[in-house]
Structure 1
Amino acid sequence: MLCVGIFVGLVLESWSLPVQHETCGYLPPPVTRDFPLREGDILKAGSHGAQVTCLADSCRWPKAVDGFVYVPYIISRQYEDMDRITIETGMLDISSATCVKFVPRTHEPNFLNIESRTGCWSYLGMTGGSQTLSLQSPGCMWSGVAAHQLMHALGFVHEQSRSDRDYHISILWENIPEDQRDNFRKYETNNLNTAYDYSSVMHYGRYAFSEDGGPTIIPKPDPYIPMGQRDGPSLTDIHKINILYNCGRY
């Protein structure tokens, strides 16, 4: 009964981070929205949103003279205290191990505007100005989900979109609805000389966007390797942030 309750609740809250749940099966795909989302939760922003990697200075958040990367944010007052704690925990999971520091906005022109809109989604990298990041309450209220969207805002795409993904996973296209197949596109990415990470907080789950409940992603060579989690950034996720932002001592 607990699993049924969780499943129904997530459907109603329009969950948009498809990932396997080892106990209750798979989570539903995102609902259709009136704005363009790529890969389920990356919002397009004109020509900027067409990019699939974030390596240029114009996309990354700038580094301050003290060596830290400060990302200003505003958290909407619509959130309750526990929601705010959940979001700030996701921030802390990144800030505690990287040179990226999320700081409350004072007067900065570029900042994250975190709101409870429909679903969980973000722009890719820094877009400039007020940059919306949606974490719907209660459907997106896990610190790992917050960290996932924050990593999109820092410039990271999904792990299974990597250019080398075919060496590590198989996509079961027959189990994916035709109108959802764009969510599984592979891109020419700079993988920052890091190993493929099944445990990345940015990886889809085994049943993401499934049409009939069958798996859509199978790992290689061991088909039983766990994939996709929303507990928080993996060690490799943290390593990637430190490489992308040249964090030095971290």
Structure 2
Amino acid sequence: MEYCNKRNMTIRITVMLTLLLPHTPSSASSYFHITKPALRGGSKSSRRWMNVRNGEHWEIPYVVEDLGPDSSTRIREAMQEIHDNTCMRFVPRILQQYYVRFVRGSECSSQLGMRTDEPNTITLSTHCETKGIILHEIMHTIGFHHEHSRPDRVRYVRIVEENIIQGQAYNFKVLPWNEVINYGTGYDIASIMHYPEWAFSRNGQNTITAVNGGELLGLQQDSLSKTDILQINKMYRCRKCEDKSNNCNKSATTHRCKRQFKVRKACRKSCGIC
């Protein structure tokens, strides 16, 4: 389900997902799916997680509730991919007011942007325990719509409405440009926020095709795409993490990083600043 909470400017996205196994017609008609849509952009209205800064990182506190070791491992893997490519950092919650809860449920769901009235909740059913699906839900939480909701999708994909499960067509709605921002990036079939071709199929036939009716090439449901990473970094104004000196492997000692501003400035990566 999706609904808008005007007071907090958040959207709840709730859908059942299949296991990320090779698609068969029977599985397509048995489950709802949410792994990738055909156009993604950042939400213009959702609240950003820019309230807690630690050096050059934005921190998002989190807790994992009532989930087994396999789920916890996949959650950590998804978070690590975001840590490795952006300035976002998920940290265990202590007493922070705003945070994300990962909980067990009957569906895979998340909310759009940071909530201020209650904790953000990412719900994971047993069908959601893959790094790719958890990344998808985290992307909603940090402020991203589905890729297939993008206004310019008509130039790239076609929605086959007659193949969609009755009552689920809303999952394919297009958002107006005043609700999304693409940060200057083009349509990305490979985005983690893009639905697979057979999402919400009622008959095992594709619900999303290329605009010419052909197969969509480049779909994947495992990792952040280059465009996903670029958009996160632009949304949260992340600086590129790099050293500006060839001598950082020698000069960036713990002592010098702490004591010398010039070393910290020239060796941001080696000093662990970013």
The TM-score range, normalised by the shorter chain, is 0.7 to 0.9
Q: Secondary structure at the match of 1:186?
A: coil
1:85, distance to aligned residue in structure 2 (A): 0.8
Q: Which residue of structure 1 lines up, in the alignment, with residue 92 of structure 2?
A: 104
Output the aligned Cα RMSD: 2.6
8 Å CA contact 2:70, 2:129 repeated in 1: no
Q: TM-score, normalised by structure 2?
A: 0.71
Letter in 2 for 1:103: V
Distance 2:107 2:165 in 1: 20
8 Å CA contact 1:145, 1:232 repeated in 2: no
8 Å CA contact 2:191, 2:220 repeated in 1: yes
Distance 2:81 2:192 in 1: 12
Distance 1:22 1:225 in 2: 15
Distance 2:20 2:152 in 1: 22
Q: Secondary structure at the match of 1:96?
A: helix
Q: Secondary structure at the match of 1:179?
A: coil
Q: Secondary structure at the match of 1:174?
A: helix
Q: Which residue of structure 1 lines up, in the alignment, with residue 11 of structure 2?
A: none
Count, aligned residues: 216
Report 1:176-215 matches (<5 A). Answer: 176-188=164-176, 189-215=180-206
Distance 2:68 2:19 in 1: 25
8 Å CA contact 2:112, 2:140 repeated in 1: yes
1:130 to 119, 135, 151: 119
Cα distance, 1:19–1:204 mapped onto 2, change above 3 Å: farther
Distance 1:191 1:88 in 2: 27
Instruction: Render the CA deviation track for 1:176-217: whole Å, top value 9, x for unaligned.
Output: 234111111000221111111111111111111112111110
In structure 1, runs of 5+ residues without a counterpart are 1-13, 31-38, 42-51
Q: Which residue of structure 1 lines up, in the alignment, with residue 16 of structure 2?
A: 16
1:168 to 147, 151, 156: 156
1:71 to 57, 60, 71: 60
Distance 2:152 2:20 in 1: 22
8 Å CA contact 1:207, 1:213 repeated in 2: yes
1:153, distance to aligned residue in structure 2 (A): 0.2
Cα distance, 1:222–1:197 mapped onto 2, change above 3 Å: farther
Q: Secondary structure at the match of 2:128?
A: coil
Distance 1:236 1:20 in 2: 22
1:65, distance to aligned residue in structure 2 (A): 5.9
